[in-house]
Amino acid sequence: MVSRSLATLVLSLATFFGLTLPAHAVTLEQKLSALSEFTQPTAASAANWVAAWQNQGAWADYAFDWSTDLCSSSPDQPLGFDFRMSCRRHDFGYRNYKAVDRFPANKPRIDDAFYFDMRQVCAAYSGLSKATCDGLAWVYYQAVRQFGDLNVSQAQIERVRRDVERAYRNAA
């Protein structure tokens, strides 16, 4: 009874003085569940991730890595098609699954979600613009599938960049 009263008093004083008590630890299972929810190749998963990304503070207990280099050395908005959010979510999946040593088993799904996100961007277009966007999305997807788990050299990045440019010229 005394410990419950003491806990209530401490909580009341902390609230009164605007203090934040230490966060409760999130279990690995909880973190993996949230990661899975945020990295599915579905519209619901993408929407949930965007909402979390816009309110990162609400996820502080999870200690997620929200950092991004967007599309790495590839253009973030190739030919004006905005793949930035797709790249952010992809980076989130890679960084956070690597941090919990679960990357290899989840990489294919993260890459599939990346492709799904880019195809959602392309769905806003029609005709040749849509075909071009879809082609770029496919090339970006193939690049992450093949090179996403490697330490890639600058020469390899340049080769993929040239392949993207060649694919665009052939599509036009």
The verdict on whether 90 is a catalytic residue reads yes
| Selected catalytic residue, list 88, 89, 90, 107 | 90
Stated length of the chain: 172
133 C-beta neighbours (distance < 10 Å), count: 24
DSSP string over the chain: -HHHHHHHHHHHHHHHTTPPPPPPPPPHHHHHHHHHHHTSSSHHHHHHHHHHHHTGGGGGGGT------TTTTS-SSGGG---HHHHHHHHHHHHHHHHTT-HHHHHHHHHHHHHHHHHHHHTT--HHHHHHHHHHHHHHHHHHHHHTTS---HHHHHHHHHHHHHHHHHH-
Q: What is the C-alpha separation between 47 and 49, in angstroms, rounded?
A: 5
Active-site residues, by number, are: 90
